[in-house]
A and B are shown apart, each in its own frame.
Chain A
């Protein structure tokens, strides 16, 4: 019951026109942000974030050029800048980008979600097992119940993460570290540690989610784009976005201003979990199987995308567009280095260095401003 009430409430919050709460919400939270970061009193936080994104975007363009030039120099058949390969990169990035949008919300509230990789695997198992309950001719039931299984698994673990950390004041780092194990174990247990083949056993329409394309653009890329745009709008234009920023910036101040901190924090984890469900639908369709071992270390990729994208790990500021660029940087590196046949150990070194470098450049630029 309480859950349903919460649902209605959040819907109302989303729908509330901006003007109605501008007088209270907007100004108040600006002041909270400024009050908590006194050293930045003169800097407008919005423009600070914008200039950060510009810097990261520049780094991304330079990285692409560098990969293109090196590949052109060492390979007699360079493909990096071909349309087919660029679409391939976008396709591979889309899953991480979708999960990273949820992670951005979470990190903005000064939280973290370490369980996303395991939850991806759990959703993947849930989708597969539920869909196999119906025959492939029952396309409608397979798709509807598959979708519901995914959302239930992702949203459920997300709710657990949020509710436990809020109710008992446990740091989300610890709660999600726990659910990382819980979700992985649950997935393995449900499917008896096997890999179930889904091809030929589920409706061909399901294959479209991960493998189809619209006007030549892969369908997962379109889904990711829609989620990124929605996420950006929610973060920048809605009361929800302002409130979670305020919470991450100074939780006590936000609470004193009457923001229902626990309510928002729980919802941030639920949204994060639901986005993992969406990513899992795409991944399941792409892999054509239910495999409880997938997604190992995906949480690190999602967190890396968010951090490279300029979101503050301490909470209070962040940007979805930055996260998108962060995910693109990781995706382009993975793709470009494989095209050049660079061995895995060197790949790991390069990607690690780029993550540190991106954050280093960003923090140096910031220090200069101050």
Chain B
């Protein structure tokens, strides 16, 4: 009975594997490249994938796409890269889960003659240099500029005075720190006092609790910057529950659908759009040009956009 069961399971696994590996007509494509991302469950990377697919269609590229299940699972990402090397891709587009721990795996790919495009989270330059890794191009956004953009808008809403607070992302993560730096820069030269700055680890439930606590200690806060929309969605619930709706301006980062709805309801005041689909598209385009032997810039910066109630779609 159980032996039979095991045989059926093995057969099913075999069928699904062989179905997954069935190759598309490779003669039809000019290039073969891979996009290795962080969690596909995150809408940000879903949009990045969408953009990359579009580019692959229009440039006739055979694009393999792989993502890890947990956003911080660097080990899984390393094995994904190794898989791609074995499959003989000509270029890898990598959105690293960790800007340092990924370099050894990429060096292996480079030694196998694969061109490397870095998307989104930037690979640490010093670590890359230490192992002799050369990234052909970086495609992404300037998080510090984004933090400053959201900060500048908050400063304007607060008329350059009063008390502000910040909900930071996970401490020590590059984009969290860059957004924080940008926001602090925006506060320079104003009369705004930063009364509290705490991490809510990117999470909505923590954003709610942490900002409820901050409001207890500083009931006179009139502005808040959140390093991502999730934390902002929690914080605006804390604001409502404290009976302070409309008294605190909130700006954040990411432009999630739920954040746009909150902006339309005037509970959130601005967020930053990073255009992940342009990163995906741009990454494939750059890789194609590189493989075609054309000259490319070492950096391709995607323009950020401030989303307020005036320009939400």
- Residue with the highest number of chain A CB atoms closer than 10 Å, among B171, B201, B205, B262: B205
B168 contacts which chain A residues (CB < 8 A)?
A: 344
- Could you count the A-B residue pairs with CB atoms below 8 Å apart for me: how many are there? 94
Does A142 interact with chain B (Cβ within 8 Å)? Answer: no
Residue of B nearest to A95 (CB): B205
B216 near A343 (CB under 8 angstroms)?
no
Main secondary structure of the interface of B (DSSP, over half): helix
Complex Cα spacing A334 to B196, Å: 15
Contact with A along B202-231 (1 / 0, CB 8 A): 011100111011101110000000000010
Q: Mark A69-90, 1 if CB is under 8 A from B, else 0.
A: 0000001010100101100100
Set of chain A residues within 8 Å of B237, measured between Cβ atoms = 286-288
Do A341 and B265 touch (CB < 8 A)? Answer: no
Assess whether A88 is in contact with B205, with CB atoms less than 8 Å apart.
no
A82–B204 alpha-carbon span in the complex (Å): 26
Question: A341–B210 Cα gap in the complex (Å)?
Answer: 10
Q: How far is the CA of A286 from the CA of B240 in the complex (A)?
A: 10
Q: CB-CB < 8 A to B234: which residues of A?
A: 287
What B residues does A286 contact at CB under 8 A? 208, 237, 241
Asked if residues B204 and A339 are in contact (CB atoms below 8 Å), the reply is no
Contact, CB under 8 Å: B217 / A283: no
Q: Which B residues touch A85, using CB under 8 A? A: 216
Give complex CA distance A191, B198 in Å. Answer: 30
Which chain B positions have C-beta within 8 A of A338?
196, 198, 210, 213-214, 217
A343 cross-chain contacts in B, Cβ below 8 A = 171, 198-199
> CB-nearest residue of chain B relative to A188?
B41
| Interface size of A in residues (CB-CB distance below 8 Å) | 38
Let me know if A196 is at the binding interface, CB within 8 A: yes
Q: Is B261 an interface residue (CB 8 A)?
A: yes
Which residues of A lie under 8 Å from residue B240 when comparing CB positions? 211, 288
Query: Roughly how many angstroms separate A91 CA and B212 CA in the complex, as a whole number?
Result: 10
CB-contacts of A251-301 with B (<8 A): 283, 286-289, 291-296
Q: Does A323 contact B (CB under 8 A)?
A: no
Q: Which residues of A contact B (CB under 8 A)?
A: 75, 77, 79, 82, 84-85, 88, 91-92, 188, 193-197, 199-200, 211, 283, 286-289, 291-296, 334-335, 338-341, 343-345
| Residues of chain B whose beta carbon lies under 8 Å from any beta carbon of chain A | 40-43, 46, 168, 171-172, 196-199, 201, 203-205, 208-210, 212-214, 216-218, 230, 233-234, 237, 240-241, 256-258, 261-262, 265, 267
